[in-house]
């Protein structure tokens, strides 16, 4: 990708009114732009990041049998009335069609996916089933805040599971938990993310949240230092000992965190509203058991920026960086431009993702922008490096700069990016 062709530009400064760290870095670097409070535009580089996050989630969902679908954002009033949530769910954005027919923008999709599965599942032979989507959600938050961390429109993966009995639900719930840990590991967030007990609703005593430690998180959690399990403040009063290792709660450590994922046993809460039943081996009609499992993909993008940054800009983990390599040419010499161009073409041919800064800008601007954008590897070609027939390589997260011979660079990159 050639930087000259990007329509976006970095900004030296943004308003003092944008206080959130993730939003101000992402806006400065030209990854997102704000349309309204809690409503953001994903620009070319930002969209690449969001898609990479979504792709990692998608792969892990497919691995545990998830089948991807896409449900509508527009949902009719009647389905919400069936579950008594039309009035109770106050974060619903509601609107009317031409003939006063009422709709809500989808804030979550139990009301859509449950009757959908009811059309196809009749027998124990049809269970279990796992269905998910990665879709734009709408919630009429009373106060949008903290950039991508709490928006009114945001991207989320929601998985729904359907089971013949509670036991099967519980087994799958554990599988999803394991899949989530894999996702967080691939996102570079595993060391900062704690499985956290939280309030559970009518069916299960507790749900589980995935809480990612961050100073700007809005949740308060209490972490067991021995086994890493954590407890949301909303339930800590009823906890005496750690559920995992029995350590007393006085030993727990308080921390601020961002709720990046949530898994929930729904039981028959929604299947009963829609009279969704199946016939078992003996011909007897039984309730379908459900679970739901969310990960906020856009919130994760914000969380990663909150966690991985320094004074100069963002430090993307290599799994979700918009490109792996930032190639800069410094200086205006024609031979230099030609060499850089050749290298760019070769790297692209080899399958590397490269952002090539081919702009007519000064060294300072290019280097500062590279730090701000935060791609994992920076390659610099200049008259200075060309004299040694070499190229300069720097990791965004290290101070060390290496000089590599140009004819060895491809091999070197293949090794260091585990290709």
Partner RNA sequence: CGGGCUGUAGCGAAGUUGGCUAUCGCGUCUGGUUUGGGACCAGAAGAUCGUGGGUUCAAGUCCCACCAGCCCGACCA
Please name the helix (run of DSSP H) or strand (run of DSSP E) that holds residue 295, with its range, or none: strand 289-295
Placement of tokens 């890493």 in the chain? 228
* CB-nearer residue toward RNA: 164 or 327: 327
- Please, which of residues 200-259 interact with RNA by CB under 7 A? 201, 218
The DSSP code for 95 is E
Residues 6+ apart with CB under 8 A from 248: 240, 241, 242
Grouping H, G, I as helix, E, B as strand and the rest as coil, residue 374 is coil
**34 belongs to the binding site for RNA (CB under 7 A):** yes
Q: What are the C-alpha distances in Å from 385 to residues 149, 329, 347?
A: 42, 10, 18
Q: Which is nearer to RNA, 142 or 418 (CB)?
A: 142
> Rounded to whole angstroms, what are the CA distances from 95 to 90, 101, 102, 156?
13, 8, 6, 22
Of positions 41, 190, 363, 419, contacts RNA by CB under 7 A: 363
37 interacts with RNA by CB under 7 A: yes
Contact region with RNA (CB under 7 A), list: 97-105, 275-283, 344-352, 368-376: 368-376
**For residues 164 and 373, which CB has a smaller minimum distance to RNA in the complex?**
373
Least Å distance, CB 282 to RNA, is: 34
Q: Which is nearer to RNA, 99 or 399 (CB)?
A: 399
22 contributes a contact to RNA by CB under 7 A: no
CA distances, 67 to each of 70, 131, 208 (Å) = 10, 5, 23
- Residue (139 or 194) nearer to RNA, CB: 139
Which residues in 38-128 belong to E strands, given as ranges?
Answer: 39-42, 67-68, 74-76, 93-96, 102-105
Task: Pick from 54, 60, 209, 369 the residue near RNA by CB under 7 A.
Answer: 369
Q: Is 383 in the site for RNA (CB under 7 A)?
A: yes
Report d(CA 286, CA 277) in Å as an integer: 5
CB-nearer residue toward RNA: 182 or 359: 359
CB of 303 to RNA, least distance (A): 15
Ranges within 137-196 binding RNA (CB under 7 A): 139, 141-146, 150
358 in contact with RNA (CB under 7 A): no
Q: Which of 41, 245, 335, 401 touches RNA (CB under 7 A)?
A: 401
Count of CB atoms situated within 10 Å of the CB of 70: 8
CA distance to 33, 34, 53, 66, per residue, from 134 (Å): 21, 22, 11, 12
Selected binder of RNA within 3, 108, 114, 214 (CB under 7 A)? 108
Give the contact letters, 53-92, x = binds to RNA (CB under 7 A), - = no: --------------------------------x---xxx-
Site for RNA (CB under 7 A): which residue of 18, 168, 170, 287?
18
- Cα angle 32, 68, 260 (rounded to 5 degrees) comes to 45
312 is an interface residue for RNA by CB under 7 A: yes
Distance from C-alpha of 56 to C-alpha of 66, rounded to nearest angstrom = 13
CA end-to-end span of the chain, whole Å?
20
Give residues in contact with RNA (CB under 7 A). 10-20, 28, 34, 36-38, 85, 89-91, 107-108, 139, 141-146, 150, 201, 218, 262, 264, 292, 294, 312, 330-332, 360, 362-365, 367-372, 380-385, 392, 401
């Amino acid at each position: 990708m050639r930087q000259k062709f990007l329509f976006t530009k970095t900004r030296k400064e943004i308003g003092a009114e944008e206080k959130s760290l993730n939003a101000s870095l992402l806006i400065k670097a030209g990854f997102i732009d704000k349309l309204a409070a809690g409503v953001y535009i994903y620009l070319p580089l930002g969209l690449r990041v969001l898609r990479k996050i979504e792709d990692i989630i998608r792969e892990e969902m497919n691995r545990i049998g998830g089948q991807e679908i896409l449900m509508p954002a527009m949902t009719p009033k009647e389905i919400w009335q069936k579950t008594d949530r039309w009035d109770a769910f106050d974060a619903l954005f509601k609107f009317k069609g031409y003939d006063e027919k009422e709709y809500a923008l989808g804030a979550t999709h139990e009301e859509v996916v449950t009757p959908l599965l009811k059309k196809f599942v009749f027998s124990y032979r049809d269970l279990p089933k796992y269905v998910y989507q990665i879709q734009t959600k709408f919630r009429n938050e009373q106060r949008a805040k903290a950039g991508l961390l709490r928006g009114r429109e945001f991207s989320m993966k929601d998985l729904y599971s359907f089971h013949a009995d509670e036991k099967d639900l519980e087994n799958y719930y554990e599988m999803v938990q394991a899949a989530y840990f894999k996702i967080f590991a691939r996102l570079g967030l595993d060391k900062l993310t704690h499985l956290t007990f939280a309030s559970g609703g009518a069916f299960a005593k507790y749900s589980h949240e995935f809480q990612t430690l961050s100073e700007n998180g809005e949740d308060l959690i209490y972490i067991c230092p021995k086994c890493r399990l954590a407890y949301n403040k909303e339930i800590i009063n009823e906890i005496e000992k750690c559920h995992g290792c029995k350590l007393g709660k006085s030993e727990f450590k308080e921390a601020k965190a961002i709720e990046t994922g949530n898994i929930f046993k729904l039981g028959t809460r929604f299947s009963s509203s829609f009279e969704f039943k199946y016939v078992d081996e003996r011909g007897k009609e039984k309730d379908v058991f459900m679970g739901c499992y969310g990960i906020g993909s856009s919130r994760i993008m914000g969380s990663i920026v909150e966690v991985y940054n320094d004074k100069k800009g963002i430090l993307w983990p290599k799994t979700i960086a918009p490109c792996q390599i930032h190639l800069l040419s410094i200086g205006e010499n024609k031979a230099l431009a030609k060499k850089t161009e050749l290298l760019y073409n070769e790297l692209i041919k080899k399958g590397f993702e490269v952002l090539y800064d081919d702009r007519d800008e000064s060294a300072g601007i290019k280097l500062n922008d590279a730090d701000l954008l935060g791609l994992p590897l920076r390659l610099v070609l200049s008259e200075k490096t060309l004299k040694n027939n070499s190229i300069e390589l720097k990791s965004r997260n290290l101070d060390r700069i290496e000089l590599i011979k140009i004819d060895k660079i491809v091999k070197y990159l293949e090794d260091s990016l585990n290709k």
